[in-house]
Amino acid sequence: MTSVDEPGSPSDRQPGPGLRADAERNRERILTAARRLYASHGLGVSMACIAREAGVGKATLSRRFASREELINAVFADRMDAYAAAIATALAAPDPWRGFVGYVQAVCAMQATDRGFADVLAMTFPAAKALEKRRAETYNGFLDLIARAKATGHLRDDFTDRDMVILLMANAGVIAATADAAPDTWRRLAGQMLRAWAVPGADLPPLEQAPAPTALYRAMVRLTRPAAGPPSR
């Protein structure tokens, strides 16, 4: 793909309305390319690959986003808003236990639809201030939800917020491993973890069926092969 604006071009250097319009177009190209590549390949995609996909020069990408963390912050701002909204919905549920179960399912589903976001929820980015601020706000809401769910008598007393972090890390790995062969495997994982966290007799949604042996075999075979990388053109 030919770059639409090469480093040092007049539109790169001269101020004015034209530059502002070009800069905004380039920013949107970069965000669109990053969203697409992160969603399909996870956060391992290089900045150089994103620049190629967006059709801009590396220097242009660096001017719009000075670091990988800054780009991640911009790409996933709306997803973090949805993440925060999920905890707000859970806290508003009349039954805190049902709110807790719904939150776990919703967040795991968010991971399943976007490999990049699956990685975001399983990692931390200290330099991405806005993203981490949103994460901290959601974390505090989750602590409140845990306390409410335990008060119902349905959530085990030994459950901690770290158990949810463990699930998100495990779910990111399951999604990456089974995306092509058994894309609903994450549902089984989330269901089994909810059963591990619940006290006997707690109300739980039906457990998703385990993936077919052939599907899991394909996923296991896939793990032995070199990962398919993003477009290299």
End-to-end CA distance of the chain: 7
More confident residue, 55 or 13: 55
Highest mean pLDDT: which range of 7-21, 36-50, 104-118, 187-201: 187-201
Nearest to 119 by CA among 110, 106, 128, 129: 110
Q: What share of the chain is helix, strand, coil (3-state, %, to 5)?
A: 70, 0, 30
Neighbours of 184 (CB within 10 A): 12
pLDDT by residue (tens digit) across 148-193?
999 999 999 999 999 999 999 999 999 988 988 899 999 999 999 9
For the chain, give every domain's residue range.
14-75, 77-223
- CB-based contact 175:115 (threshold 8 Å): yes
Q: What is the mean pLDDT of the chain?
A: 87
Q: What is the per-residue pLDDT across 68-105, written as a single tens digit (0 to 9) for each? A: 989 998 999 888 889 999 999 999 999 999 999 999 99
* CATH homologous superfamily, domain 14-75: Tetracycline Repressor, domain 2 (1.10.357.10)
Write down the CATH number for the domain with range 77-223: 1.10.357
The count of residues in the chain is: 233
Residue with tokens 């719904």: 102
Report CA-CA distances (Å) from 175 to 40, 60, 65, 170, 205: 11, 33, 28, 9, 21
- Checking if the pLDDT of 139 tops 50, the result is yes
pLDDT in tens, 94-137: 999 999 999 999 999 999 988 888 888 888 888 788 888 888 88
Domains 14-75 and 77-223 fall in the same CATH topology: yes
